[in-house]
């Protein structure tokens, strides 16, 4: 007995890189060291050190969320809109600024502060959905990093890549962006805090 399979949707390989497609950013391997002190220096350079310190002192859960985001991506992951800047640094800065904006609107409750800060960090996820990171061997992209794997830094360290190239993804759906945002939030924040973000966003 023969079985006929009808293909309902066209086959596609969204994870393949087109031959000759230019990368928007390249990292040399091994990656530059990435730690919390560097992140704090960048926040200080923006004049937000006192704000960041008071937020983390009052809400240690937000410091933990920042550290977890740093552990997932490292400071080496670039912004899609400006590949010379670190996505994690920009996300942490945006988190502090979101809290300041909430306070200026007289929204000072725990829920408002937590939701604002985590919204800022989630900006990173929205930005990261527009980039693909590929490990390169013999001048060919051979493996793509995804959020389902280990952290970005561990993935690079485990593999024998010559470099890592970042490629822009131009046709990202709203569902993919929102899914990435939620996946990151669930990885860095408690169930309660993720619920707060959903309620106050």
Shortest CA distance to 55 belongs to which of 40, 70, 77?
A: 40
Residue ranges of the domains in the chain?
A: 25-129+174-200
State residue 141 phi and psi, 5-degree precision. Answer: -65, 125
Concatenating the DSSP letter of every residue in 127-175 gives HHTTEEEEEEETTEEEEEE-TTSS-HHHHHHHS--SEEEEEE-S---HH
Confidence tier at 6 by pLDDT (50, 70, 90): very low
Please say if the pLDDT value at position 7 is more than 70.
no
Strand order in the sheet with 140-145: 25-28, 163-168, 131-137, 140-145
Is it the case that residue 8 has pLDDT exceeding 50?
Answer: no
The pLDDT value given to residue 149: 86
Q: Given a cut of 50, is residue 5 above it in pLDDT?
A: no
What tens digit of pLDDT does each residue of 42-100 get? 999 999 999 999 999 999 999 999 999 999 999 999 999 888 899 999 999 999 999 99
Residue written as tokens 């920042």?
Answer: 66
Q: How confident is the model over 91-143, as pLDDT tens digits?
A: 999 999 999 999 999 999 999 999 999 999 998 778 899 999 999 998 899 99
Span 157-180, pLDDT tens digits: 999 899 999 999 888 899 999 999
């Amino acid at each position: 007995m023969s079985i006929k399979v009808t293909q309902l949707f066209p086959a596609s390989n969204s994870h393949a890189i087109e031959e000759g497609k230019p990368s928007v950013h390249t990292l040399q391997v091994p990656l530059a060291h990435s730690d919390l002190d560097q992140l704090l220096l960048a926040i200080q350079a923006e004049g937000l050190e006192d704000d960041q310190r008071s937020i983390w002192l009052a809400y240690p859960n937000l410091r933990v969320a920042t550290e977890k985001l740093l552990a997932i991506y490292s400071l080496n992951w670039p912004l899609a809109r400006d590949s010379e800047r670190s996505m994690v640094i920009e996300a942490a800065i945006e988190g502090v600024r979101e809290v300041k904006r909430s306070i200026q609107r007289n929204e000072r409750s725990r829920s408002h502060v937590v939701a604002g800060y985590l919204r800022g960090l989630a900006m990173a996820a929205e930005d990261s959905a527009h980039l693909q990171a590929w490990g390169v061997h013999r001048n060919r992209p051979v493996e793509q990093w995804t959020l389902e794997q280990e952290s970005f830094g561990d993935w690079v360290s485990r593999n024998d890549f010559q470099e890592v190239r970042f490629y822009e993804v131009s046709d990202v759906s709203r569902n993919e962006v929102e899914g990435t945002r939620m996946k990151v939030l669930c990885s860095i924040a408690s169930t309660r805090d993720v619920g707060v973000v959903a309620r106050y966003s």
